[in-house]
Chain A
């Protein structure tokens, strides 16, 4: 394999460049040009108007988790502990109990995810044999003023709906 060598011209060696002052004003012209343009017309901003304008999230994005439900609203999770076993961050804490709705025998009575410990690797989603846990809520920013509110329980995980339709989600390789 031949190597192409490109010799770069070293800048900054001319007299004008060496006295800096002229170059500083050249730089300021660019900066002030941006400022002027933004002041005149805000819609031509080079960056996104976050948080007013949210980025578009693809269905494959691994956002905050949710627990899915059957069509009748009962939880799909059967507390098999596959996600907890597979979790490299050990952020999932499950407690299993007897299930009474006839769907299965086992149900999680407690399903906590410590989002501060989660590394959003998606291993839990891959391990799940029931498609009960997904990371398709589209929530990419998990911020809070206290630790307790980012320790999400089963109710919160069940309450959040998926941000994409089933077909789009399945296209993502799920």
Chain B
């Protein structure tokens, strides 16, 4: 915890953390200073002049808040007539050439320019000359659509490509009212984090081709979630909506700040992984190729359970689900494998957010002592006559072909969120809720335990994995049983999992029970 200092804002004393700038420090105590160009991840640029504040007895008396560190006894003025006039004038400057196409702009509803207009400006335009027209609907590559007319030239996107991705595709060319953000000819955005500029852009200049015109921002319900695209476990917002007469579906993922895990950003692949939650899902249970009720399929699967069935659990499952499945395997008296080498794309990771391991909870497998080696899996497969897979897609990314022949001779039961090669050839297929439709906890590759709640409520909700495990005969299915079991496996988990995730201790991270 940093040192606390006292300063005055509009004559009222507030206590803030030292070492921060005025915008960040005062935001914590609920005082907003308007700004366009400043972003905590990109640093202060000081080009928008929107955050100018008065410092009483200061030299100079007027400073940009983003570049001014807090100091003890500082007297900050935010509500004097002079400051209000400056804010209004800055807004007037920003809006001189703004096209005001809010009706067709995807940013409307979450646009800084709209919010600030209502708070700090609220006056009609005094411009009588035609507005400068610039490029609209420009394809910047990577699914980013740019509108130069809406741009306020805060240069957040430019700084993002220079400071964060270090690819530097974007730049501002020309000066004054002809200034615009653009790419170099024939060199569009080309990095795996490009869509973050859409979130960074305070206005509607950068929009996403994927989300374009799909929904208005105010219709979306924003729930917190954890991205299951890889083992990083980035924090996200799941924006979903149930349109009239339709089902609740996800429209986009957005990054959610977690300093411990992903910071302010997520990768494009993870951002677009919401498509997989909406499409290609296994929705109906099947027994021998015929659709049937989930109860019927579970009964059929239950009959097949025995010591000669091999259980296969996915590294995508949450800890809670793994506990229930492990208890089921122990109750049936059979082997449980977490073999899932197909989920690892060697060489794909970049050392920042994108990881080689495309599964969300492989660390959880290790915590529960579930063996995931190929040798044991192969050995167990040879001594079994049936396989039940809990959302483990053995053939994911066209891998696991060496097991195909063996599995063809065996009875395969697939409990799965998605329709895949395994479920298509399975004797029994049982649909389950995916991570956006259920809650659970996952451990990321850095040993950080994070909890996610249920976001999407389908019209006909699918049973979650623990429920299915319970129906199959798992003794540990109730929330309290699972919670006490979790505390046994994870000694550093004493209370509930905190908002930003719980960093498991080193010794625990390496702890693999025999």
Which residues of A line the B interface, CB within 8 A? 78-82, 85, 90, 93, 96-98, 104-106, 129-130
Contacts and interface: CB of A to CB of B under 8 A. Distances in A.
A93 B218 CA distance: 15
Contact of B213 (A79, A82, A90, A129): A79
B103 A80 contact: yes
B104 A78 contact: yes
A85 B104 contact: no
Given A105-B104, A106-B104, A85 B216 contact: yes
A93 B104 contact: no
Most buried by A among B102, B104, B136: B104
B213 A98 contact: yes
B243 interface: yes
8 contacts: A80-B103, A80-B104, A81-B219, A85-B218, A98-B213, A105-B104, A106-B103, A106-B213
A33 to B, nearest CB: 55
A93 B103 contact: no
Interface string B207-228: 0000011101011000000000
Interface string B87-111: 0000000000000011110001000
Interface of B: 101-104, 108, 136-137, 212-214, 216, 218-219, 243-245
A79 to B, nearest CB: 7
A104 B105 CA distance: 11
A82 B101 CA distance: 13
A130 B218 contact: no
Sorted from nearest, which 3 A-B pairs have the closest CB atoms? Answer: A80-B103, A96-B213, A106-B104
Contact of A129 (B103, B219, B245): B103
Contact of A90 (B108, B212, B244): B244
A64 B212 CA distance: 31
A106 B104 CA distance: 6
A90 B219 CA distance: 13
Nearest to B216: A81
B244 A104 contact: no
B244 A82 contact: no
Contacts of B244: 90, 93
Nearest to A128: B103
B137 A93 contact: no
Contact of A97 (B102, B108, B136, B213): B213
B243 A78 contact: no
Contacts of B108: 80
Contacts of A82: 103
Contacts of A90: 244
Given A105-B104, A130-B103, 17 more contacts: A78-B103, A78-B104, A79-B104, A80-B104, A80-B216, A81-B216, A81-B219, A85-B216, A85-B218, A93-B244, A93-B245, A96-B213, A98-B213, A104-B104, A105-B101, A105-B136, A106-B213
A93 B213 contact: no
Nearest to A97: B213
Contacts of A80: 102-104, 108, 216
Contacts of A106: 103-104, 213
Contacts of A93: 243-245
A118 to B, nearest CB: 13
Contacts of B214: 96
A130 B214 CA distance: 20
A114 to B, nearest CB: 9
Contacts of A97: 213
Nearest to A108: B213
A57 B245 CA distance: 35
A80 B244 CA distance: 17
A54 to B, nearest CB: 34
A129 B102 CA distance: 10
A85 B109 CA distance: 12
Contacts of A98: 212-213
B278 to A, nearest CB: 16
B79 to A, nearest CB: 32
Contacts of B137: 105
